[in-house]
Each structure stands twice: as structure tokens, then as C-alpha cells.
Amino acid sequence: MIKIAPSILAADFSKLAEEVIEVEEAGASLIHIDVMDGHFVPNITMGPLVVEALRPVTKLPLDVHLMIENPDAYIEQFAKAGADYITVHVEACPHLHRTLQLIRSHGVKSGVVLNPHTPVETILHVLDEIDLVLFMTVNPGFGGQKFIHAVLPKVKQLSNIIKERNLPIEIEIDGGVDEETIIPCVEAGATILVAGSAIFGKQNRAEALREIKAAGEG
């Protein structure tokens, strides 16, 4: 069973609630929310207000991907707004262990994100603090970019470690996922697949989501 997490970054913001309801009804498993601050990444998107506004709209877990500097300062706000997962970038966290504990202290599942160039070794000593590892298969900042295949050996590497140690950690992939690139992602061990433009860029979101999911499930 794989899980699809539509990224609302590519949705129509003038009718965000309808967009979320449509993908929930079509079989989405989580809603992926991309938070960008214009510092860690060269783009500005949304904050806790959007999480709060979507919380009553859907029963699905809200998967909040923080692409911001100093995430510690905002974790409480996102937790109170209704985030179910908060993922932080390794590259933005000098005290990663503390940040992950802070996320869990608010009753939220903790996730770590690795940029395409960041090795798996950077998280090996905090695996007990992590519910989810998110591998970026594009450079974060924008939707609609090309999938970077060179990331997949890292996914396989972590997947093997998780199996060997029998750890309860989900592996998520984000960036350029569509009905073709999802296949090697699942083969490498991904369990949650984020898709933005491959779903919300299509006229029929429900059909697009079902096609991607079917391709991933083989």
C-alpha cells in the first residue's frame, strides 16, 4: 500500500478547500503543505494560517513541509494550527535532535527532509526521534521541476537500514513525482509520494491521482 500526498502548492488557491476535498475523495492519504520563507528557499508561500484554515476541511493528516530558517521558532504555531506531521530540513537545523524532540513534545509526528545532495549519514544518529524521512528529488523552492534520479540510491540505503533495524519510519519522496517517476521511487522503498503539478496541474485531479497511485502500486 502506497500513500499519495497531493501538494497544494500547485492547487488553485482561490478555491483551496474544494481542491482539498476533491483529492481526499479521490483517495489521497495526506495533504502536503509547502511552507517557504524566502530565505531558506528563494520563494514565499504560506504559513500557519493556511494550515488552520484547512484543518476543518479534511480528515486527512496535514503534512507540513517547512522550508524555512530557524524552524524551532514556528513549530508551536504549526502544531496549534493542526499539523499532523512537521518536517524540517537537516540543512536548516544545527541542533536537529533538539528540534525533533520539540516537534514531538507538541504531540506532532516528526519528519526530517534531505536536500538532493545531503547524505543519509546526517540522520543516522537521530533515527529514534523520527517518524518520517522526506527525500527531495528536486531542489526545494518550486513545483513543476524535473525529477532527480540520482537521489534514489539514498532512498534504497535508508530503506535497507529501516528494514534491518525494524524501525517504524515512513519514507516520503517529494519533487517531480508523476506516473512514471513514481515507479522507481516505490522500488527504492518510498511509502509516501508527494505530487503537486502531476495532480493539480491536470484538469481532472481525481483521475490524475488515481493514475499515479495505480502506477505506483504496479
Residue 128, amino acid: D
Give the rounded distance of the alpha carbon of 152 from its chain centre.
16
What residues numbered 158-177 form the site for Zn ion, per CB under 5 A? 174
Asked if residue 143 binds ligand DX5 (CB under 6 A), the reply is yes
Is residue 216 within the footprint of ligand DX5 (CB under 6 A)? no
Q: How distant is the alpha carbon of residue 145 from its chain centre?
A: 15
Among 175, 181, 190, 212, the residue binding ligand DX5 under the rule CB under 6 A is 175
216 is in an annotated binding site: no
Is residue 34 among the annotated active site residues?
yes
34 binds ligand DX5 (CB under 6 A): yes
Cell of 58: 479534511
Q: Looking at 4, 9, 83, 155, which residue binds ligand DX5 (CB under 6 A)?
A: 9
User: Which three cell numbers mark 159?
Assistant: 530503506
Q: Is 133 in the site for ligand DX5 (CB under 6 A)?
A: no
Q: Whose CA is closest to 113, among 198, 16, 36, 217?
A: 36
Is residue 141 marked as binding?
yes
Q: How far is CA 186 from CA 148, 159, 172, 175, in A?
A: 15, 11, 10, 14
For residue 7, what are the contacts with CB-CB under 8 A and spacing of at least 6? 32, 33, 34, 143, 174, 194, 195, 196, 199, 200
- Please select the residue that binds ligand DX5; options are 3, 65, 89, 205, rule is CB under 6 A: 65
What span, in angstroms and rounded, lies between the C-alpha atoms of 37 and 68? 5
One residue of 140, 169, 181, 190 binding ligand DX5 per CB under 6 A: 140
Any known ligand binding at 175? yes
Q: Binding of Zn ion at residue 34 (CB under 5 A)? A: yes
Residue stretches of the annotated binding site for a divalent metal cation: 32, 34, 65, 174
- Give the catalytic positions in this structure: 34, 174
- Residues that bind ligand DX5 in the complex, under the rule CB under 6 A: 7, 9-10, 32, 34, 65, 138, 140-141, 143-145, 174-177, 194-198
